[in-house]
Amino acid sequence: MADEGTLATTAEVLLAIGENASADQILEANTNIWIKWAEGDITALAVNDIVANYEEIGTNFKRYFSQVAANRAAWYAINQDQDNFGLATSQSKLNIFLESWNAFVKLMKDKADFMDLIGL
């Protein structure tokens, strides 16, 4: 099976999840779903089909969207299966991903300037 997402790869999601990822979290079919959910979240928030317009985005901005998508997908993965982590660890990971997402949300609030900057 191959990565099906555009903004992030399975490897990036697994790096974000970190050590002790569960069998369900390692399964590429699942990470593909979580990446697509993350891409949907990003597109909805940006009110721009970032995935469809991916080729128009500069390389450095692609890396930013990759990080946001991987972190969001990892957030979904850990929310679904927290059993391999202690409660404090899973909550800490979820909080870190939420902070990353909140930074993206804040950026999108001023999205007109940002979208101009990335050329969309």
Q: What is the pLDDT of residue 4?
A: 81
Q: What is the pLDDT of residue 19?
A: 83
**Every domain of the chain and the residues it spans:** 10-118
Distance CA 66, CA 83 (A): 26
Distance CA 65, CA 85 (A): 27
The segments of the chain whose pLDDT lies below 50 read none
Q: What is the pLDDT of residue 1?
A: 58
The answer to whether the Cα torsion of 29, 34, 37, 42 is positive or negative is negative
Name the token pair of 2.
């191959």
The predicted model scores a pTM of: 0.86
